[in-house]
Structure 1
């Protein structure tokens, strides 16, 4: 009896593992290079921007359609997609795109690809995008700022990014502590998409870069321990 029970448990675990593995084969959170390569393999790629309509209107990946789980006519958008072909989803991070990916899988889509780093990774890698605004800051102007100031802290993000908003009070503390000894440059996607593309270094929002004497001291994906890292870097 114990042997039968033991075998039954093993069989259950095996089936559960297989089921989970099978589902994982259909959804991938892909880094930008893999995501872009798969998009290029498709003649007419199904790309979904899972951000708000306001965000989409400002900038988006060329050829993408805009909807998410909160869209009023969500079912109509889904019905227009081909379930047998790959779907490519992005947002700012993985929140809205990840939720949409799970829902599409439940509805029988064969393969769903979620972009790691979202729109930041796409534009940051210099991939083609639409924008209704021209960057206020050029790459030449950016380089001039870095060259003309001994120490520069650059904050790259988006006004729609929750994590980016948390950086602002930290920047104010740093600004108060260092004053004119540290130049702080804030670059938002909505105002400066092209400079983010030209830098080809942004993979996620927020990205923080500290320059000293025209050289990068550190580059951080995210703002964890930002104040501490700045203090340590400038103490030397």
Structure 2
């Protein structure tokens, strides 16, 4: 019995140490706080979606564009960035790609532009 408990303890420790802290999901309020502290916001929606309205100060880099990764590499790997899309699907995928590209701190605003707009925050066009 002690061996089983010890084995489970070791397994749980292995699982914990293999997690990567590069991606953190955030809400709108945390986005505002981070942006106020100089963290850049990247909107991964299409240019057409972006033109219809976006979070003030956001930079548009289309997730579907063939040069998405190359354009993201204009940021330093150790620079914190906030990623968002319309509702969280593309930003989640983009965050995983950036993590594989060795970006060290990615904030994924999972509510996306839809949540931002629904909460009544300012938008730019």
Identify the residue that residue 35 of structure 1 maps to in structure 2.
31
Count of residues in Structure 1 that have an aligned counterpart in Structure 2: 124
Instruction: Give the 3-state SS of the residue equivalent to 2:54 in structure 1.
Output: strand
The separation in 2 between residues aligned to 1:50 and 1:69, in whole angstroms, is: 5
Give the TM-score, by structure 2 length.
0.82
CA RMSD, Structure 1 to Structure 2 (Å): 2.3
Match of 2:22 among 19, 26, 33: 26
**Between Structure 1 and Structure 2, which shows a larger proportion of strand residues?**
1
Whether the 8 Å contact between 1:26 and 1:110 is mirrored in structure 2 is: yes
Identify the residue that residue 13 of structure 1 maps to in structure 2.
12
Deviations 1:23-56 (A, max 9, x none): 2x332221111121111111xx321111112101
Change in 2 beyond 3 A, CA 1:15/1:124: same
The separation in 1 between residues aligned to 2:59 and 2:36, in whole angstroms, is: 17
Instruction: Give the 3-state SS of the residue equivalent to 1:47 in structure 2.
Output: strand
Listed as ranges, the matches of 1:1-236 within 5 Å are: 3=3, 7=6, 10-20=9-19, 23=20, 25-42=21-38, 45-131=39-125
Instruction: Give the 3-state SS of the residue equivalent to 2:86 in structure 1.
Output: coil
Structure 1: tracts of 5 or more residues without a match: 132-236
Comparing 60-69 and 79-88, the one that deviates more: 60-69
Instruction: Identify which of structures 1 and 2 has the higher relative contact order when contacts are C-alpha pairs closer than 8 Å and 6+ apart.
Output: 2
